[in-house]
Amino acid sequence: MSKKIKGFSKLTKEEKINWIVENYFNNNLNVVDIIKQYWNSDAQLQQLHDDFIENTISNFYLPMGVAPNFLINDKDYVVPMVTEESSVVAAASLVAKFWSTKGGFKTTVLGTTKIGQVHFMFAGNKEDLISYFNKNKTELYAATASITKNMEKRGGGILDIQLIDKTDQLENYYQLHITFETKDSMGANFINSCLEAIAAKFRNDEIEIVMSILSNYVPECLVRAEVSCKIEDLGVENPQKFAEKFYQAVKIAEVEPYRAVTHNKGIMNGVDAVVIATGNDFRAVEAGVHAYAAKDGKYTSLSHCTIDNGIFRFWIDLPLALGTVGGLTALHPLAKLSLEMLQKPSAKELMQIIATAGLAQNFAALRALTTKGIQHGHMKMHLQNILNQLGANAEEKEIIANHFEGKTVSHAAVVSKFEEIKKKSINWVDFKNESSLRGLLNSLEIETPAIFGKMNGQQMVEHLALLLKVSNGKIDADFFVEEEKSSRRKAFLDTDNELQVGFKASMLSEEPVPAKFSTLKDSIEDLILQIESFETHFKTNATENHPFFGELDYQYWCKFHVKHFTHHFKQFNLV
């Protein structure tokens, strides 16, 4: 069956989601829930996000944090950072505080020139081309007058237009190499509009324009950030030894490309986080930065270090084409908030802040690598991520964190320890023990607040009874589950793992079903009746179909009901 579709972009957002779920998720309504739970409740704000790109179905959230205590050129900053990688914000914060007591970071903008090119083919006499270019150069500037007018008022515009011969690399290939100053704008649209106007003016019967496009390689749009102090003030047990190892680590990244790539990736952890937070183009920044790292013909470190005359000096030069006006910076509410948090910087100031974030991140990584190892802090965060995935509570997290203090953290080891604790701590509900069950339900009221989910107390009791009716054969769960899936899912019922919050069979409605009985007491009595019926039913029946797990016999249905009862009793803090 083909999954191709015509006119997808013309569908409404709801229709797009329904088509995706039907064709790629077997109509699993949980997928719809996940997609929609990330929609913004403010319809106008959601529409703003929908309009950023095409075929939107939801929002993809990344955590936004802040790193305080940055002192840059004697000015205090709190730096917004958007990233999914643990340890980045913590590392930046620690390093910012460390250097704030030693004069802070010093930054200098070395240049702000950006590049655009008109690429063309010319098979005629080169001297004729040069003559044509020189004769028309003034006209090329004039062709952009209506576009550059406002930029020139702000001190920007076209700085120079050069004719470049590239025929030694590609037959008949030439280019117009054009330099721009775009002030506080990143300038992509401005540059491209100028290039297209210039190309239209420059072309003739002998000149074939191939394309006109800005370059994300901006080696002259450069900023430097640095820190320095006496070696004895580096704040470690053996500062001279630390400084020497740190220096050696930087030198290794300068000469070894395999190390340089990871070294520079760490720098970009800090750079990208602030670039994204301020609504700038992190992909353009990444491409330009890595091209700069290879500008001398070999990929090398972006940062450098000296330890001369008892002084530790660490610095970085980064090409950063950024904007603080226009584009997403003017549209995304959090991008605007980030720029306000940074005290409404100019593009030059933002270059300096972002270079500082990259240098701070690099210092943190190298300090960890040359002392107690990069994994020490990172694995603490990794441990927390694993525990969050497992749904560990605060007490379980504390027990496991203490257990792994000084030990190697691996996913398998954490899961094993977590399961060991759960075996000891889970108070499984014995749903077949009527006396015990009534005792637990005794404290439940319709208004009892739920820890999670939308059901009230009575709806929860009737929900348990509904699944019992399925196991009793009173409700036909006509949902086919493939044998391979059933086998894989049933394996979960053999474990001591609990049902996770959000688990829901596809046959169930999105919203809680209204209570069937007039009182909670009547609902409880029906629940007890269904349990009795369950025991009777399986004296003469071998299996009944579960809408998620497939065909289950009596033993597997018991395992399911224990997990199901425990899950929902926890929902209302009954166990």
Gap between the Cα atoms of 363 and 571, Å rounded: 46
Note the pLDDT of residue 156.
95
Note the pLDDT of residue 373.
60
User: Rounded to the nearest 5 degrees, what angle is found at the Cα of 192, between the Cα atoms of 190 and 194?
Assistant: 70
Please, are residues 140 and 198 in contact by the beta-carbon 8 Å criterion?
Answer: yes
Contacts by 170-177 with C-beta closer than 8 Å and gap 24+?
172/121, 172/122, 172/123, 173/119, 173/120, 173/121, 174/120, 174/121, 174/122, 174/129, 175/117, 175/118, 175/119, 175/120, 176/117, 176/118, 176/120, 176/133, 176/140, 176/202, 177/115, 177/117
Please, are residues 571 and 453 in contact by the beta-carbon 8 Å criterion?
Answer: yes
Please, are residues 76 and 371 in contact by the beta-carbon 8 Å criterion?
Answer: no
- 3-state DSSP: the chain helix, strand, coil percent, rounded to 5? 50, 15, 35
Gap between the Cα atoms of 535 and 433, Å rounded: 12
Note the pLDDT of residue 323.
94
Please, are residues 364 and 246 in contact by the beta-carbon 8 Å criterion?
Answer: no
Low-confidence residues in the chain, pLDDT < 50: none
Neighbour-count burial of 450, counting CB atoms closer than 10 A to its CB (0-12 exposed, 13-18 middle, 19+ buried) = middle
> Residue-wise over 120-145: b if at least 16 C-beta within 10 A, else e?
bebeeeeeebeebbeebbeebbebbe
As a three-state string, the secondary structure of 517-541 is CCCHHHHHHHHHHHHHHHHHHCCCC
Tell me which residue of 314, 321, 320 sits closest to 253, measured CA to CA.
314
Note the pLDDT of residue 429.
93
Note the pLDDT of residue 477.
72
Please, are residues 321 and 354 in contact by the beta-carbon 8 Å criterion?
Answer: no
**pTM for the model:** 0.69
* φ, ψ for residue 36, nearest 5 deg: -80, -25
Tell me which residue of 569, 420, 403, 409 sits closest to 497, measured CA to CA.
420
* φ, ψ for residue 214, nearest 5 deg: -70, 165
Place of tokens 């004729």: 128
* φ, ψ for residue 320, nearest 5 deg: -135, 110
Q: Coil, strand, or helix at residue 553?
A: strand
Note the pLDDT of residue 375.
54
Retrieve residue 308's tokens: 């001369």
Taking only the tens place, the pLDDT of each residue in 298-325 is 999 999 999 999 999 999 999 999 999 9
Gap between the Cα atoms of 326 and 280, Å rounded: 10
Note the pLDDT of residue 2.
67
Note the pLDDT of residue 380.
65
Tell me which residue of 475, 481, 473 sits closest to 506, measured CA to CA.
481
How are beta strands 75-82 and 106-109 bridged, if at all?
A: unpaired
Retrieve residue 116's tokens: 């655009």
Active site residues: 85, 265, 281, 378
